Structure 1
Amino acid sequence: MPAAKRTKKNTEEKPNMEEFEGLSVEEAFKRVDDVISAMQEDDISLEDSFRRYKEGMDLLKVAGAMIDKVEKEALKISEDGELEIFEDEE
């Protein structure tokens, strides 16, 4: 009988945006630094380490989304010197 194959499910969850609402990119990265510092403590439990890891990853996703939004809204200068809103050509 063939061995059962494991399939990798997409378990990536979207972060709870309400938890991070109102954060700036700088504040999100500061919180990531705080998470990293906490994870480096000698007395952190495995459960707390996993919880903080998830929080850090969620913060990075949120910060990345904010950066993407700003990039899409960035202004560009056209050939005639006018400012135009950058439009994603996807």
Structure 2
Amino acid sequence: MEKENLNFEQAMEKLENIVDQLEQGDVPLEQAIQYYKEGMKLSKVCHDKLKNVENEMAEILNDQGETEPFTVEEES
């Protein structure tokens, strides 16, 4: 399965598995480097998918059926 075809949850699960492997600390250096590269690719897939959702949510329909900017207000 190509990374680009993974859904967000699948990519996150694979990324979490890689992190678990690396945190165990008994991974040979060459394997750790491969895990790191794979993790970076999966991280980019997750980031891109979140960015796409953010772009899709940039505008929402108001009560009159017109689009308006969508913003999320964070609590301070």
Aligned positions, number = 68
Q: TM-score when scaled to structure 1?
A: 0.62
Q: TM-score when scaled to structure 2?
A: 0.72
> Aligned in 2, Cα 1:47/1:71: closer, same or farther, shift over 3 Å?
same
Runs of 4+ that moved beyond 3 A = 83-86
Instruction: Verify: 1:30 aligned to 2:13, yes or no.
Output: yes
Counting helix residues as a fraction of each chain, which structure ranks higher?
2
Counterpart of 1:81? 64
Q: What is the CA–CA distance in structure 2 between the aligned matches of 1:35 and 1:82, rounded to whole Å?
A: 45
Gapped runs of 5+ residues in structure 1? 1-17
Q: RMSD over aligned Cα, in angstroms?
A: 2.3
Deviation (angstroms), 1:19: 2.7
- The structure 2 residue matched to 1:50, chosen from 33, 41, 64, is 33
Say whether the 8 Å CA contact 1:29–1:63 is kept in structure 2.
Answer: yes
Deviation (angstroms), 1:85: 8.4
Per the alignment, in what secondary structure is the counterpart of residue 55 of structure 1? helix
Per the alignment, in what secondary structure is the counterpart of residue 43 of structure 1? coil
Instruction: Verify: 1:41 aligned to 2:24, yes or no.
Output: yes
